[in-house]
Amino acid sequence: MIGVFLGFVYSLSAQEPPDCTMLTSPSNGETGVSVNTQLQWQAVANATQYFLFIGTNPGGTNILNGVSVGSDLSYTPPTSLMPNTVYYVTVIPNNNNGDAQNCMEESFTTGLASSVPGCVTLSSPIAGSYGVPPDTNISWTGQSAAAGYILNIGTSTGASDIISNLDVGNVTTYDPPADLPFSQRVYITITPYNSAGESPSCAEVTFRTRGNNPPICTEIIDPVDGGEFVSVTTNITWIREFNASGYLMTIEKTSIGGVKILDNFDVGAGTNFKPPDFEGNTQYFVSITPYNDLGAAPNCQPISFTTGAGPV
């Protein structure tokens, strides 16, 4: 009877959800925790996986919301935690019979950042771009170790006559309160910071705004208009139109209105493009049409050239 009774107890236990666990590192209530900490917890005998909840307020899940880490007994956040911040953690063991019940939420507080954040990259407008709308927002790639960003915008290198040392907080997009000036080269420096200090020597980047009108036509400089024996593998090169944010290319064979190789094809913001190889001993007509967000240059005329012999 005892053996039967013990077997019954064992069978009943195996069919129950697991017990709760507790953090071993950081410990509940610990302060000054590294922002690069790894979370660790005690093993539970009949648990097959653990669900992890992490937030920055009691009951919060803004960092992790019920993510399974399998049977692992540790978790390393993919990015550094914020310094001087209270984090709330609940680890819930699970098996085929369900979740552990009424598991306690634990918390710890991070210390200072271990190092200053790195610099960021301007993502919009693209550094070096032209024809940028004056009402543009400024956006950049985030730095996980940053607590915020300081923004300087000026109309000459090193200047801050538009925005001066503005702390925009921990965001990655800023909408200037007034439009940027027309037809103006703009200089921007974005400096991430955290409790360890500011990122040193972040590079100044620049772009040029458009005027208050569509661009005008540009000039193709290679091949030259009327050129002969042009290579069938030639690139097309033109003069930059500072008011343009991009260019459309049309290539026609034999005559204007002839067979179109490209038809108002957007070749981007550069001033050089490699089209598909041309046929040998053939006349081509090529036009470049600058554009910006206000429209395209009207009536841009093509050049023509004749290719030499193609490869044998």
Residue 115 belongs to some domain of the structure: no
Residue 312 belongs to some domain of the structure: no
Q: Are 230 and 307 in contact (CB under 8 A)?
A: yes
Secondary structure element (H or E) that encloses residue 32, with its range: none
Q: Are residues 173 and 246 in the same domain?
A: no
Q: Are residues 249 and 287 in the same domain?
A: yes
Residue 96 belongs to some domain of the structure: yes
- Name the domain boundary from 208, 229, 247: 208
- String of DSSP letters for 165-202: EEEEES-SEE--SSPPPTT-EEEEEEEEEETTEEPTTP
- Name the domain boundary from 208, 243, 266: 208
Question: What CATH number should be reported for the domain holding residue 283?
Answer: 2.60.40.3780
pLDDT averaged per 10 residues, the chain (length 312): 44 75 97 93 96 97 96 92 93 96 97 88 97 98 90 97 97 97 98 92 97 97 98 98 98 90 97 97 98 97 95 74
Q: Are residues 128 and 85 in the same domain?
A: no
Q: Are residues 167 and 202 in the same domain?
A: yes
What separation in angstroms does the CA of 41 have from each of 61, 95, 126?
18, 17, 45
What is the C-alpha separation between 36 and 33, in angstroms, rounded?
A: 8
> Which residues have a Cβ under 8 Å from the Cβ of 203 and sit 6 or more positions away?
119, 189
Three-state DSSP class for residue 159: coil
Residue 214 belongs to some domain of the structure: no
Range of the domain at 155: 122-208
Residue 213 belongs to some domain of the structure: no
Phi, psi angle pair for 301, to nearest 5° = -90, 145
Q: Are strands 283-292 and 185-194 parallel, antiparallel or unpaired?
A: unpaired
**Residue 6: per-residue pLDDT:** 46
Question: What CATH number should be reported for the domain holding residue 195?
Answer: 2.60.40.10
> Which residues have a Cβ under 8 Å from the Cβ of 215 and sit 6 or more positions away?
131, 241, 243, 244, 290, 291, 292, 296, 297
Residue 247 belongs to some domain of the structure: yes
Q: Are residues 21 and 98 in the same domain?
A: yes
Q: Are 87 and 110 in contact (CB under 8 A)?
A: yes
Phi, psi angle pair for 211, to nearest 5° = -80, -170
Of 246, 292, 295, the closest CA to residue 273 belongs to: 246
Q: Are residues 238 and 259 in the same domain?
A: yes
**Residue 113: per-residue pLDDT:** 83
Q: Are residues 44 and 102 in the same domain?
A: yes
Q: Are residues 80 and 37 in the same domain?
A: yes
- pTM strictly above 0.95: no
Q: Are residues 104 and 130 in the same domain?
A: no
- Name the domain boundary from 60, 79, 109: 109
Q: Are residues 68 and 129 in the same domain?
A: no
Q: Are residues 37 and 70 in the same domain?
A: yes
Three-state DSSP class for residue 279: coil
- Give me the sign of the Cα torsion angle 77, 78, 83, 86: negative
**Residue 7: per-residue pLDDT:** 45
Q: Are residues 203 and 235 in the same domain?
A: no
Residue 116 belongs to some domain of the structure: no
Residue 49 belongs to some domain of the structure: yes
Number of domains in the chain: 3
The CA R_g of the chain, rounded to the nearest whole Å, is 32
